[in-house]
Amino acid sequence: MNIPVRLRRLRQSASIREMLAETTLSPAQLVQPLFVTEGTELEPVPSLPGIERIPLRQLAAHCRRLHKLGLRGVALFPKIEPALKSADGREALNPDTLVLRATRAIKESVPEILVFNDIALDPYTTHGHDGVLTADGTDVDNDATVSILVEMALLHARAGADFVAPSDMMDGRIRAIRESFEAGGLARTGIMAYSAKFASAYYGPFRDAVGSARTAGAAPISKATYQVNPANRREALREAVLDEGEWADIVMVKPAGPYLDIIRDVRERVELPVAAYQVSGEYAQIHAAAACGWLDLKAVRDESLLAIRRAGADLILTYFAEDWAASR
C-alpha cells in the first residue's frame, strides 16, 4: 500500500512512545488525601482498599515517607470523635482540634511537604452537612456558615497550612477568607477552592472514612442546595470564574473522572492552576472491579490518572498517589 502518512511509525517502540507522549505525570503533580485519628493503631477503611486512618502520632513519619517518594502535598481530613460533634460544628473552631495538631506536627517534622486543609463543617456536625442549618433545619445557612468558615480558615493558616481548601460550596466564602487573610497578616497562605464540586453519588466511601455518613438504612444526605447539579456544565464554569475573581489561587473540579469535560472547560477559561479530585467512589470502583478480575488495577489506575491530566488538571488529589509513586 502507498500510504506516506503512517502514524504507527510514531508508536513502534517504547522509546518513541515515551519521547512523544503528549501527557505526562509525575509524583509532584499528585496530592495524597490522609485521614487522621486520635487513636493508637492504623484503622483500615473497608470501602477504600489500601487506605487507612492514620493515628496522629504516626502522621509525620508517614508524610516523610510520602515526600521521599516524590509526593509534594497531602490533604488532611480528620475523623472526629462522635462526642465532639454538634449541630453547629463548634469543634471546628477549637484551636487544639485534631487537624490543627496534625498540621503543626507535619510542618514541624516535614516542612517541605505542602499541607492542604479542608475547610468545611461536615466532619464536625451531627447532621453531616458542610455548614450550619437554618432555623427551621431545612437547609444550610449560607452567610452564617461563611462566618464560621472564615474563623476556621484563620486557625488553619496560623497552624501552618500551606493552602486552605474550602469544600463547602457556600457563596462568597473565597472572597471572605482572602480578605480575612490579608487583614490578618496571612497573605502567604493559599486558597485552593473547591469551585466546581458536584452533588455527586461518588462520595460515599469518603463519608465513611471521616464518619459523616448516615447510619445504615438511613437516606443519604442530600447536598443539592449547595453543590453543583451534575446536569449543569455552564453553572460549574461560572463557579470557577467567580472563585478566580474572588482571589482563589487554585480552582478545583470534583469528582474528576466523570467530569473530564468540566476540567477541560475550566482549564480553557481560567488562568489559575486547575486541580481535580479523583474521589473515593472512583478509587473504590476501580479496586472493586479489579478484585473481581474484571480490570487490571495498575493499568486502569494509570490510565485514569493520565485521562485527568490530559483533560487539563495541573494537580490531582487521588487515593492512588502513594501507590502510584511507589510503583514508578
pLDDT beyond 90 at 201: yes
Residue 197 designated active-site: yes
Comparing 113 with 211, the larger pLDDT belongs to 113
Confidence category of residue 219, pLDDT binned at 50, 70, 90: low
Mean pLDDT, the chain, rounded, equals 96
Phi, psi (deg, nearest 5) at residue 254: -150, 130
Q: What is the pLDDT of residues 236-261, one digit of tens each?
A: 999 999 999 999 999 999 999 999 99
Confidence category of residue 328, pLDDT binned at 50, 70, 90: confident
Annotated active-site residue in 79, 85, 107, 254: 254
Go through 93-117 and write b for each residue having 16 or more CB atoms within 10 A of its CB, e for each that does not: eeeebbbbbbbbbbbeebeebbbbb
The pLDDT value recorded for residue 297 is 98
Interatomic CA distance for residues 79 and 142, integer angstroms: 24
The pLDDT value recorded for residue 218 is 62
Contact 203, 281 (CB under 8 A): yes
Annotated active-site residue in 85, 107, 197, 223: 197
pLDDT beyond 60 at 216: no
Percentage of residues in the chain having pLDDT higher than 70: 98
What structural domains and CATH numbers belong to the chain? 25-326 (3.20.20.70)
Q: What is the pLDDT of residues 116-131, one digit of tens each?
A: 999 999 999 999 999 9
Q: What is the pLDDT of residues 77-99, one digit of tens each?
A: 999 999 999 999 999 999 999 99
Residue 107 designated active-site: no
Q: Which of 229, 266, 234, 231 is nearest to 250 (CA)?
A: 266
Q: Which of 198, 178, 186 is nearest to 240 (CA)?
A: 198
The pLDDT value recorded for residue 214 is 59
Q: Which of 220, 131, 200 is nearest to 168 (CA)?
A: 131
Which residue type, as a one-letter code, is found at position 167?
S
pLDDT beyond 80 at 101: yes
Q: Quick one: cell of 125?
A: 456536625
Q: What share of the chain is helix, strand, coil (3-state, %, to 5)?
A: 45, 20, 40
Contact 163, 250 (CB under 8 A): yes
Interatomic CA distance for residues 10 and 13, integer angstroms: 8
The pLDDT value recorded for residue 119 is 98
pLDDT beyond 90 at 217: no
Q: What is the pLDDT of residues 226-242, one digit of tens each?
A: 999 999 999 999 999 99
> What is the arithmetic mean of pLDDT over 141-170?
98
